Structure 1
Amino acid sequence: MDAGDLATWVGSTFAAIAAGATLWTLKSQRDQIAEQRAFISEQSATLELERAELRALAAERRSRQAKRIAMRPQLGGSRGPRNALDIELEGYDRWHVDIANRSDEPIRDVLVRFGDAYNAGVAVILEAAEMPESGRRVVPVHIVGAGHTARFQSPPWGSQVTVDNNRPVVTFTDAAGSRWILDEHGELRGAPGA
């Protein structure tokens, strides 16, 4: 064997070994990168679940007091005005709406609206247990204490159709300063801009 051939053969062998080591290193690095990506992806998913849970807890905490406010609408009225034939009309001609604060803190700026155009005409604060009238208040009611109820009354309307077309909705501010809207079906939502 020639010395030149031996040197070429040894050089080629070392080059092959170096190429193999380089390929093995690249494969190892690719495997590590793939493992790191999988780990990062798993961590990201875990963090997103934790964020979603924290958001849900914050939303629950934010709406906890508002969910303890109840609206009880009732149709009211007695005999209506006489018609052209001087016959007394019977039926309802207004809304009576009780807003019960079942929470441990007061609510503020309580206003009942009927349809898009009518605010409650009269408001009375009722005590929690006996519910006697404790005095007429200005509408909107500035504060309804914990465990108290406020009764609102619509203006009297001449027809049942007008009453039916002007359903009650209450807006109020909770102790944390968030503004809420509660409809007659118990659907609660944040007020726009609140």
Structure 2
Amino acid sequence: MRILVVGGKGTIGQAVVEKLHEHELIIAGRTSGDVQVDLTSVSSIEMMFKKVGYVDAIVNASGTAKIQLVEKMTPEDNLVAVQSKLLGQINLALIGQKYLHRGGSITLTTGIMKDDPIPGGASAAMANGGVSAFVKSAAIDFTQGIRINCVSPNVLIESYEKHKDSFKGFVPVPAERVAMAYVKSIEGKQTGQEYQVY
């Protein structure tokens, strides 16, 4: 399979790439990888697909949100998650579907914060919930055999030290376990699913 992995140099992305090493992989990132893309820009996403061409699977393991208490949050703070984690992923799917071979798949990323809130996580939770709802609904619209799923990871063991103050009491999971959910989405047959790795 020819697989595009957006965010392939991140912690989750690298674990996904390792699990998919037997496939032909194209790594995309904002500043690194085989091709560059800014998910907040429709034209950048379109340009990336014109360079990459047709693929069998699209994976997104990237997205940004500002961690900010609601009482201090501004509309501009919230837009970070809207433009990147929410609309960026949805636009990746909307544009990317035209570059998928029949029977191809799209895998997006949500996160535990929509189900298990943390202080300052409302904006990320909103984006995660929106992506999850989009995936569930979009799955019934595809008529050319395209599948769409998302993976919702817990905080990772690999980055827990950095984020432990925000995730007190959470039991972190290894990136390798999270990566297996992406493999299930790509190489399996299910659609409209959110694979929660909590």
Report the TM-score when normalising by structure 2.
0.25
Higher strand share: 1
Give the structure with the larger helix fraction: 2
TM-score normalised according to structure 1 size? 0.26
